[in-house]
């Protein structure tokens, strides 16, 4: 089956849109990290809900209000411990990296649209590299978030001094994080498809010159 530039262009557009949409939804939702404390509620006869879900910007109680996370850029750090400062640094890192990936996708999308219409090999190569760079930024952001959430949970356990708390809690990553991983995968595929488009255009140009 011969792969045409038209088919590759449609595939690149579809993957690029999917990648952007998945990351926008992931960044804007609050289900990156889910704490199910229903067992603890039953054991201690709590009347209020203790279960929560959190995103990049805030944490929420189920069926209740949300509160913003500590601002990692404007918070006073003089009286913080080194572990708290490390958590703030990690928080500041992933809230910069993930929106930066969106910016790279927007730039790549605009460049890719023009380069596909003009069939310019150089700009197709650049677009592919932009999307692959965006994928690396997304990967870095998600990886820092995973490390941040693990370190934050260990810090909470240390402060509470309750190792048995783990037995009463069900902690898992949510669908927002899954969307971020899907966005990363589609970003990589988008970059590779643009590189394929650049190869097709290059082969076509060499064939035209040889005639």
What is the number of H-type helices and E-type strands within the chain? 6, 5
CB neighbours (10 Å) of residue 35? 19
* Beta strands in 38-106, from DSSP E residues, in sequence order: 52-54, 58-61, 66-68
Sheet holding 58-61, edge to edge: 66-68, 58-61, 52-54, 33-36, 170-173
Closest CA to 20 of 83, 108, 144, 151: 108
From residue 13, alpha-carbon distances to 44, 108, 176, 190 in Å are: 53, 11, 23, 8
**What pLDDT score was predicted for residue 50?**
64
Strands 33-36 and 52-54: antiparallel
**What pLDDT score was predicted for residue 181?**
97
**What pLDDT score was predicted for residue 168?**
60
**What pLDDT score was predicted for residue 46?**
57
**What pLDDT score was predicted for residue 53?**
83
Distance, CA of 121 to chain centre:
29
**What pLDDT score was predicted for residue 113?**
93
**Helix or strand run (H / E) with residue 132:** helix 121-160
**What pLDDT score was predicted for residue 84?**
78
pTM of structure? 0.86
**What pLDDT score was predicted for residue 4?**
87
Average pLDDT for runs of 10 along the chain of length 211: 83 96 95 78 59 85 78 66 82 93 96 92 96 97 93 71 61 92 97 96 83 62
SS3 state at 57? coil
Using CA atoms, how far apart are residues 20 and 32, in angstroms rounded to an integer? 17
């Amino acid at each position: 089956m011969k792969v045409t530039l038209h088919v590759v262009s449609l595939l690149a557009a579809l993957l690029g849109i999917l990648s952007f949409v998945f990351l926008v939804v992931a960044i804007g939702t609050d289900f990156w990290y889910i704490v199910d404390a229903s067992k603890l509620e039953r054991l201690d006869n709590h009347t209020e809900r203790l279960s929560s879900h959190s995103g990049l910007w805030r944490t929420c109680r189920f069926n209740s209000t949300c509160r913003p996370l500590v601002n990692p850029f404007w918070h006073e750090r003089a009286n913080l411990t080194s572990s708290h400062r490390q958590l703030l640094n990690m928080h500041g890192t992933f809230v910069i990296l993930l929106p930066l990936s969106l910016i790279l996708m927007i730039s790549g999308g605009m460049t890719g649209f023009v380069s596909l219409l003009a069939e310019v090999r150089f700009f197709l190569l650049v677009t592919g590299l932009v999307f692959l760079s965006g994928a690396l930024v997304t990967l870095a952001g998600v990886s820092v978030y995973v490390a941040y959430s693990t370190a934050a949970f260990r810090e909470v356990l240390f402060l509470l001094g309750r190792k048995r708390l783990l037995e009463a809690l069900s902690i898992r990553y949510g669908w927002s994080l899954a969307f971020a991983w899907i966005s990363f995968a589609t970003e990589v595929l988008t970059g590779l498809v643009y590189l394929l488009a650049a190869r097709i255009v290059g082969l076509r140009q060499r064939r035209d010159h040889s005639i």
